[in-house]
Amino acid sequence: MNRFIIAVTLGLMAANTAYADVTEEDLLNDTASVDDVLTNGMGRHLQRYSPMDILNKENVQNLVPAWAFSLGGEKQRGQETQPIVHDGIMYITGSYSRLYAIDVKTGQELWQYDARLPEGILPCCDVVNRGAAIYGENVYFGTLDARIVALNAKTGDVVWNKKIADYKAGYSYTAAPLIVNGLIITGNSGGEFGIVGEVQARDAETGDLVWTRPVIEGHMGTLDGEESTMTGTLNATWPGDMWKTGGGATWLGGSYDADTDTLVFGTGNPAPWNSWLRSAGNPEGTEGDNLYAASRLGIDPATGEIKWHFQTTPREGWDYDGVNEVVAYEDRDGNKRFATADRNGFFYVLNREDGAFVSAVPFVKDISWAEGIDENGRPIFVEANRPGDPATAADGKKGEVVFASPSFLGGKNWMPMAHSPKTGLFYVPSNEWGMDIWNEPITYKKGAAYLGSGFTIKPNYEDHIGSLKAIDPDTGEIKWEVKNPSPLWGGVMTTAGGLVFTGTPEGKFIAFDDETGEELWSFQTGSGVIGQPITWEQDGEQYLTVISGWGGAVPLWGGEVAKQVSYLNQGGTLWTFRLPEQLASK
Ligand code: CA
Ligand code: CA
């Protein structure tokens, strides 16, 4: 009894001590400061690398659970969050736009915020959320009705709640927000509804808009409440009025390269999927490139002006969204580089100064839509693998069906890769699958799917779809590969201890040797792991956390693959592991 009272008193004392506000400096130093995890990506470069080596190849077999936390209720579905750890509190987001604050030592809930979602939200690909952001006194996250909410990090009280876009038009929000120089920067989701991709920057304290940057040519940006500049050149690469509902959702959020002071956001598919409606009868020329969809954009964080662009899939017609994360790193010669593993199956290296193309190699087998990438970074199309034009079909309703690989869910989807400055390698969660795809006529209708395509996803191999690959960005060589029966859908993390962590839909959370891919440790979490692991130090011990909870796009859109994995159980449990001090040297 006495012990209980003392514990409660100590708890109250802890709660009364001043909360340490998170500063720009803290965010800048997030990778090096191992006692907290303040940013999505464990550093805004998104390397997902920890310099910690308390836990290493020799002792990882001694890693044990410390606590687990259930997200509860019938609201399970896909859990894709990356936790944030600050000042003794862990912040996670859950499916259906929920945010939890948890005592990092005990796993006990401190408070929970459930967004009140309206009827009629239109999330395309499960009710997921990929994590929160933290700055000042607040914690931030986006909601499925396309809003961004600031909560007091200590109490969970709402500080402000702002609308990003109209959910009735198909907009939603699932990414972790990005914070740079006191601005909270968000993208948007909804590329399957003919929305227009945009990046917005708000004052993190007040939620007031500072700038907006639509990513499809012809649309006007704003700065301080006034029109700034037009994105691109009207009708340069889009025919007629198609740009007005041109897609390019910025749905995975962005990264920040502090060295060049540049935000980098990827953009999704141009809308509709049927590329013939966007090519103005000129498939060979740049007229149908549909900028800046399926691209990466370098953006000035102060003004929202586009500094550079790199389009991975011009005239995109397979739903190869260009949103996958862009990771800033240095190659072995010390050159400042970006790397990104695109949905289209190619792994690109770009120059960090200007986004210029450096190199590209396939990171999955059997790419059918392009023979390769030319010296300018432009794909060498296989025209016969472009889904046919329904306008030229006998019935005018269904164009020629092609088998295209990768499938539209990508050689890699949203799940983030990791980079180790120690090995120089990227650890890429990839999938090897294809699809039958065909085009159909379509006209835009607000709030309705705007595809003009049909599809069925199929596995390419009997023994695997998922493949974790270690890629050398300097040579393009695949150093090792670990295959997995079902598609990989979870994030990857790597550490100075020589470990690579990721999870599988079959439920395993696994540590691999960073040089060989050998499995060194695993733990069955009870449901599919599609979340993003983190690690940090607490009281001299190394901790790891990952969320388990199967869902996401595969069960909804995976066609024949979805049937293969229909036996997988849903869940919703946050697992925290630690290496006890007495086992660290064993
Ligand atoms: Ca940190
Ligand atoms: Ca898409």
Distance 3 CA to ligand 2 centre (A): 56
The pLDDT score that the predictor gives to residue 17 is 54
Looking at the CA of 409, name the nearest ligand. 2
The pLDDT score that the predictor gives to residue 1 is 37
Looking at the CA of 39, name the nearest ligand. 1
- Interacting residues of 294 by C-beta distance below 8 A, sequence separation 6+: 248, 267, 268, 269, 270, 311, 312, 313, 314, 316, 320, 321, 322
Looking at the CA of 32, name the nearest ligand. 1
388 Cα distance to chain centroid: 31
Radius of gyration of the chain (CA): 23
What pTM, to 2 d.p., does this model score?
0.96
Q: Cα separation of 246 and 362, whole Å? A: 28
Name the token pair of 27: 């965010």
Q: Count the residues in the chain.
A: 586
Could you list the beta-strand ranges (E) of 19-146: 49-50, 64-70, 84-86, 89-94, 98-103, 109-114, 133-135, 138-143
Distance 343 CA to ligand 2 centre (A): 10
Please state the domain extents for the chain.
Answer: 2-583
Q: Cα separation of 250 and 439, whole Å? A: 24
Q: Cα separation of 433 and 559, whole Å? A: 11
**What are the angstrom distances between the C-alpha of 528 and each of 60, 126, 327, 550?**
22, 15, 26, 4
Bridge partner list, 419: 426
pLDDT tens series, the chain, 586 aa: 344 444 444 444 444 456 789 999 999 999 999 999 999 999 999 999 999 999 999 999 999 999 999 998 777 899 999 999 999 999 999 999 999 999 999 999 999 999 999 999 999 999 999 999 999 999 999 999 999 999 999 999 999 999 999 999 999 999 999 999 999 999 999 999 999 999 999 999 999 999 999 999 999 999 999 999 999 999 999 999 999 999 999 999 999 999 999 999 999 999 999 999 998 755 455 678 999 999 999 999 999 999 999 999 999 999 999 999 999 999 999 999 999 999 999 999 999 999 999 999 999 999 999 999 999 999 999 999 999 999 999 888 999 999 999 999 999 999 999 999 999 999 999 999 999 999 999 999 999 999 999 999 999 999 999 999 999 999 999 999 999 999 999 999 999 999 999 999 999 999 999 999 999 999 999 999 999 999 999 999 999 999 999 999 999 999 999 999 999 999 999 999 999 999 988 7
Distance 202 CA to ligand 2 centre (A): 26
| Token pair 């695949």: residue | 478
Task: Determine the Cα angle at 446 with ends 184 and 216, to 5°.
Answer: 50
Looking at the CA of 27, name the nearest ligand. 1
- Whether the upstream peptide bond of residue 421 has omega within 30° of 0, thus cis, is no
Q: Cα separation of 528 and 551, whole Å? A: 8
Bridge partner list, 469: 428, 481
Distance 320 CA to ligand 2 centre (A): 7
- Interacting residues of 430 by C-beta distance below 8 A, sequence separation 6+: 341, 363, 364, 411, 412, 466, 467, 468, 469, 488
Q: Is 81 helix (H, G, I), strand (E, B) or coil?
A: coil
Distance 84 CA to ligand 1 centre (A): 9
Q: Which of 319, 321, 342, 514 is catalytic?
A: 319
| Residue 469 half-sphere exposure toward CB, CA atoms < 13 A | 23
Name the token pair of 75: 């609201």
- Annotated active-site residue 319? The verdict is yes
Full 3-state SS string of 376-440 = CCCEEECHHHCCCCHHHCCCCCCCCCEEECCCCCCCCCCCCCEECCCCCCEEEEEECEEEEEEEC
Q: Which fold has domain 2-583?
A: Methanol Dehydrogenase; Chain A (2.140.10)
The pLDDT score that the predictor gives to residue 286 is 63
What are the counts of helices (DSSP H) followed by strands (DSSP E) for the chain?
Answer: 4, 40
Name the token pair of 79: 């859990």
**Closest to 476 (Cα-Cα) out of 581, 349, 379, 371:** 349
Looking at the CA of 250, name the nearest ligand. 2
- Whether the upstream peptide bond of residue 292 has omega within 30° of 0, thus cis, is yes
**Dihedrals φ, ψ of 47, to 5°?**
-75, -25
**DSSP tag of 569:** P
Query: How many Cβ atoms are within 10 Å of 465's Cβ, its own excluded?
Result: 27
**What are the angstrom distances between the C-alpha of 318 and each of 268, 387, 474, 512?**
11, 8, 28, 33
The pLDDT score that the predictor gives to residue 72 is 84
Distance 543 CA to ligand 1 centre (A): 13
Query: How many Cβ atoms are within 10 Å of 194's Cβ, its own excluded?
Result: 25
Distance 543 CA to ligand 2 centre (A): 35
If you write DSSP's letter for every residue of 241-285 in order, what string do you get?
TGGGG-B---TT-EEEETTTTEEEEEB--BSSS-GGGGSTT-TTS
| Token pair 């990882």: residue | 60
Distance 183 CA to ligand 1 centre (A): 19
- Whether the upstream peptide bond of residue 505 has omega within 30° of 0, thus cis, is no
Distance 38 CA to ligand 1 centre (A): 6
The pLDDT score that the predictor gives to residue 287 is 72
The pLDDT score that the predictor gives to residue 438 is 98
